[in-house]
Amino acid sequence: MTVTQTSFRTATPAQLADALQDARNYTLTLFNCFAAAGLDALDRVPLLSIVNPPLWELGHTAWFSELFVLREAPTSDPAAAGHPSLLAQGDNWFDSNTVPHRARWTLSLPNAGALKTYCRDVLDRTLDKLVRAGNEDASLYPYRLALAHEDMHGEAFAYTLQTLGVAAPSHLAAQPAISVPQTDIHFSGGAIQLGGKPGQGFVFDNEKWAHPMVVPAFSIDSTLVSNAQYMGFIQDGGYENTQFWSTAARAWLARQERSAPRYWQLDGGQWRSERFGTPMTLPPNEPVRHVSLYEAQAYCSWAGRRLPTEAEWEFAAMSGNAAFHWGDLWEWTRSPFAPYPGFAPDRYREYSAPWFNTHQILRGASLVTQARMRAPLYRNFYLPERDDIFVGFRTCAL
């Protein structure tokens, strides 16, 4: 299997070496898109709550890898690491636990060239160390963690390109067109094992451990809600009819002054959007994207449907039913982000625990998710108001 097809969770040392190089190349490719737009310096990037300065994010990804792989940190606290950073001020600049979001625009960071050199040095030393790591899951854990972390930040870079209207590589602008008709798939329900199992490779802490769940019978859309379907909601006054919106959703709607999804504009009776700074007409059969949980819930209320639970979504994804199509966009579920029974944080202690019960579960993957990251058990999570990510939704019968 190629580097892009192999799951990072079970990647061998040789596969990890290729994947780590691939991830770093991708990070640098996207960073160069920001540089081409003049956004490779802190003072040129708007201070937005949903983005990081690209220069800071570039350094942070390499620092994280250095912390867990080269410095052999037993937790995410750099004070516990066995070795100092290659950068004298690295911990003061790039530790996301101690550097507040707003402060990332005011740091005296090295320039882009110096940080690229740092990235290269960390990767070279990581690959050299990986040769001697062995094949055990425990030995490969920090490398797999560093790879997953960089791939997640690569996806965040794609969100930032979209948010700031910066031109992206052509493959990111591809449209996830749906050519198959949407149908209701009925599942009679049954038992499912949610979560990962020991001895099967890398498992995120919020996926630990596998536990039985009985899923009642349910019917679920085979594909995501489309632009055309969502246009029907808008045209029927969905944004103006408060009965479709929860109290929290109405407050969000008032703050945003929103009457359509993020980036949508009505132009001469035709809905248009913007993809990485380029205006385009919305294809009717494409999945609706850049919608918040609140918008997905309001649509469901209008349509007399509901969002799936994460257990229902995983049941359908693992069923082998060829009609169940996923992977074009992340998908909102109706499940709050909560720990599985017996949860305990892993070495990256802040990955999950701080966000329980405030964030919402998303399942699936998106067009900007690396293939090696895609897995039906992967629990993504975001705040309900986030609509800058590449996210859509499907519905279930009541």
What is the residue extent of each domain of the chain? 8-172, 184-397
Mean pLDDT (whole number) for 227-251: 96
Q: Which of the four CATH numbers 3.30.360, 2.120.10, 1.10.287, 1.20.120 does domain 8-172 have?
A: 1.20.120
- The answer to whether 328 and 377 are in contact (CB under 8 A) is no
Strands 360-364 and 270-275 turn out to be unpaired
Q: List pLDDT tens digits, range 205-219.
A: 999 999 999 999 999
In the prediction, which pLDDT does 176 show? 64
Would you give the distance in Å from CA 83 to the centre of its chain? 31
- Least confident span in 118-132, 164-178, 339-353: 164-178
Q: How far apart are CA 187 and CA 176, in angstroms?
A: 26
Architecture in CATH of 184-397:
Alpha-Beta Complex (3.90)
Q: To which residue do tokens 């859309």 refer?
A: 221
- Global confidence as pTM: 0.96
Q: pLDDT digit string (tens) for 3-12?
A: 556 799 999 9
What pLDDT score does 180 carry?
72
Q: What is the mean pLDDT of residues 260-270?
A: 93
| Segment 231-245 mean pLDDT | 97
Q: What are 168's two structure tokens?
A: 């992206």
Residue 123 CB contacts under 8 Å (≥ 6 apart), including other chains: 20, 21, 24, 62, 65
Question: What is the token pair recorded at 254?
Answer: 């008032």
Q: How confident is the model at residue 21 (pLDDT cuts 50, 70, 90)?
A: very high
Distance from C-alpha of 398 to C-alpha of 396, rounded to nearest angstrom: 6
The alpha carbon of residue 90 and the mean position of all alpha carbons in its chain are separated, in whole angstroms, by 25
Q: How confident is the model at residue 1 (pLDDT cuts 50, 70, 90)?
A: very low
Each residue of 119-155: pLDDT tens digit?
A: 999 999 999 999 999 999 999 999 999 999 999 999 9
Model pLDDT, residue 172: 84
